[in-house]
Every structure is written in C-alpha cells, then in structure tokens.
Amino acid sequence: MTGNGRRSYGQKTLSELRTEIVGRGREAELVVAALMAQRHLLLEGPPGTGKSTLLRSISRVSKQDMAFVEGNAELTPARLVGHFDPAQVLQVGYDEKIWVDGPLSKALRDGEILYVEEINRVPEETLNLLVTVMSEGELTIPRLGRIEAAPGFRFIAAMNPFDAVGTARISGAIYDRVCRVSMDYQTEDDEIVIAARSSSLTSDFVTTAVSVVRATRKHPDVRIGSSVRGAIDLLALAEHLGSLRRLPPTSFGVGLDAALAALSGRIRLHESTDTTPEAVISGLWEQLAGPPPQHDDGEDSDPPGKERSRTAAAPTTNES
C-alpha cells in the first residue's frame, strides 16, 4: 500500500500474476492499468473465460480486498447497500449504530474492489445506485448520511453478453462510466495447460478432451458451446468412471460417457435444430477420439456407455 492509502499496482503485480494465471497477459495488463488509473471496469465474455479468476488473482497479489456480489434479479438496493436492523429500529429508531453494511457500503468504507458478477441480471433500480457511486465517489443513504469512497475503491462488473435468458440491456449510463475489456475463450494451447493442471491423465487424452470442447463452439447445431470447465470435468469424470468400471479412463466408452455427462448440459442448441445435445457430443467424440473399437483394452464387446453412445448419436426429431 502506498503512502496515500492506495494499493500499489505495477510491473511486480504483472510478474506475480503470470505465475498464477495461464495466458491472459493482455487482459491482465489492461485491468491493472485501469486500477492504476483509478478507473472502473466492465469485463465482457462467455462463462469460463477466466474473468473471476483474473480478478481474484489480482486481489490476492495486490493484497486488495474484494467484495464479491452475484448479480441476479434478487439483488435489491437494500441487499447491495445495507440496511438498518429492523428489530433495533423499533427500539431505538434509525441510529447509525444499528446500520448493517452491505457489500457496496463496506467496499466504499474500506477501499475495496466491489465485484458484481452477471451485472446484466441486476434490476435497474439497483444499477442506478452504482451510477451515482461511479460518478460521485460517494453514496448518500437516507437516515444514515453520506459514505465517501475510501482510497482504493473500485467497481468492477462482469457479464456474459451471449446469454439472453433473465438478462437486460446495460444502460448507456453504465457504459459511459467504465472501461470495457472483452475476454474471449483462451487459445487451444492455454486451454490444454489449464485442463492438464487439474488431471493426471495422459497428455493425448487431455488434448482430445479440449479438442472436443472447442469443437462444440463451432458446431453448426450449437448456439453456445462449452468452456474449458467442461474439459476439466470430463477428465475428472473419466478418471473416476474408469476406476468404477475397472477400465482405463482413456477407453472409448468411459471417455464418451464422461463427455456426455460433462458437456451435454453445457451446450445450447439452435432452436431450429432437430438434434440433441447427446447426439452432438457423441458425434464429436467419435470424430476426435476415434470410432468405437471392437475390443477396447479389456472392455466388454458391448460395454456400458458404448450402447448408450450409439443411441445418443442417432438423429432424432425432437430436441430434449
């Protein structure tokens, strides 16, 4: 922390970040530069692209506390700002001593980063409070008074611009007061490194898992594909599923069933398609992991998962 109370960011911060996060060098530079410039931020990108991971790493490296808020329709102004204890109000009235800080008022007082995830799910009346805070650096609460932002306070929001369910458009007033950093999916090499960190399986199998995940993003029937989290879960499931079946985790049936469980719920199909998530995943697995063998290293001639994969891969007329 520097002499004026602000956290210190710079080359040392970036050097330490590079040991914690895979890739994201450009994005890390932009976020750190914005924090140095005392600017507020909006991170836009699909789920699983490392938005929260990057911010948590910056918070840890810089020793800057971060208040995490999950954005949803239930985030009312009172839940974000704070409230007077109702029971105590009946006894002593609206006294400052019975005020309970919310994430926003605490972040203002303590000079923390306020991180609001999925900001495009937050009600408009709650967002209006944030506009005032970003503009004035303070918040006036009825019956309590003014809370001025302590040095170090920053507002950082994140959103997935591709998900339309339960979301609303962000007003120009928000965009006008933030610096925007777009975060797309990582490179294939980076995703292989990320997935490999969580698994002890062979590098070839890790590469296959990542290839299938990345292929879901380009499939003609898929509107939204899986993030690298799908590959991480696929590898973990394959390892334990293989143990339960007493088969190699890299065997075809084990890998396919792990892929179906890990990825079929993560992808979103176009409404006009007549296929299913299971058929898409099964087709990609056969394409990238190879066709189902007649005898697979000790697998039965018709093992669990192989029969299911043939059923899942068959075209259907109704989307499940």
Of 150, 182, 214, the last residue of a domain is 182
Q: Give the pLDDT of residue 12.
A: 78
State the amino acid at position 102 in one-letter form: G
Strand locations in the chain (E): 41-44, 66-70, 82-84, 99-101, 113-117, 138-141, 145-148, 154-159, 179-182, 222-224, 268-269
pLDDT in tens, the chain (320 residues): 333 334 567 777 788 787 778 888 889 889 888 988 889 999 999 888 888 888 888 888 888 889 999 988 899 999 999 888 877 877 777 777 878 899 999 999 999 999 999 998 998 888 888 888 998 888 888 888 899 999 889 999 998 876 656 577 788 888 999 999 999 999 999 999 999 999 999 999 999 999 999 999 999 999 999 999 999 999 999 999 999 999 999 999 999 999 999 999 999 999 999 999 999 999 999 999 988 877 544 454 444 434 443 333 433 334 43
Domain assignment present for residue 5? The answer is no
The answer to whether residues 164 and 200 belong to one domain is: no
Cα end-to-end distance, the chain, whole Å: 54
Residue 176: what pLDDT?
92
Chain length of the chain: 320
Of 182, 203, 224, the position where a domain reaches its end is: 182
Decide if 248 is inside a domain: yes
Residue bearing tokens 């926003």: 104
Does a structural domain hold residue 320? Answer: no
Residues 214 and 272 in one domain: yes
> Which among 36, 44, 34 is positioned nearest to 179, based on CA atoms?
34
Residue 214's domain is classified under what CATH number?
1.10.8
Look at residue 213 in the predicted model and tell me its pLDDT: 97
pLDDT at site 21: 81
Sign of CA dihedral 97, 101, 106, 108: negative
CB contact burial 253-264 (16+ within 10 A = b; e otherwise) = bbbbbbbbebbb
pTM, to two decimals: 0.78
DSSP-based three-state secondary structure for 313: helix
Residue 238 tokens, joined: 């394959």
In a domain, 4, yes or no: no
Q: How many domains does the chain have?
A: 2
Two structure tokens written together for 179: 């610096």
For residues 265 and 168, membership in a common domain is answered with no
Q: Evaluate whether residue 130 is within a structural domain.
A: yes
98: nearest Cα among 122, 111, 116, 82? 82
The verdict on 101 and 26 lying in the same domain is yes
Check whether residue 195 and residue 101 sit in a common domain: no
Q: What is the pLDDT of residue 59?
A: 85
Position 139 in a domain: yes
**Whole-angstrom distance, CA of residue 188 vs CA of residue 217:** 12
The answer to whether residue 318 sits within a structural domain is no
Q: Are 22 and 118 found together in one domain? A: yes
Q: Which domain holds residue 57?
A: 11-182
Say which CATH number the domain at 80 has: 3.40.50.300
Q: Let me know whether 166 and 210 are in one domain.
A: no
Q: Are residues 173 and 199 in the same domain?
A: no
Q: What is the DSSP pairing of strand 222-224 with strand 179-182?
A: unpaired
**Pair (173, 305) in one structural domain:** no
**Residues 263, 228: contact at Cβ < 8 Å?**
no
Q: Do residues 43 and 156 lie in contact, with contact meaning Cβ atoms separated by under 8 Å? A: yes
Same domain, 142 and 20: yes
Bridge partners of residue 116, in order along the sequence: 69, 157
Residue 265 domain-assigned (yes or no) = yes
How far is Cα 38 from Cα 306, in angstroms, rounded to an integer?
56
Q: Which has the closest alpha carbon to 209: 289, 297, 310?
A: 289
Do 247 and 114 have their domain in common? no
**Could you say which of 182, 211, 243 is where a domain stops?**
182
Looking at the structure, do residues 159 and 203 belong to the same domain, yes or no?
Answer: no
CB of 305 within 8 A of CB of 253?
A: yes
Which of 244, 248, 264, 246 lies closest to 200, judged by CA? Answer: 248
Helix (H) or strand (E) holding 204: helix 203-216
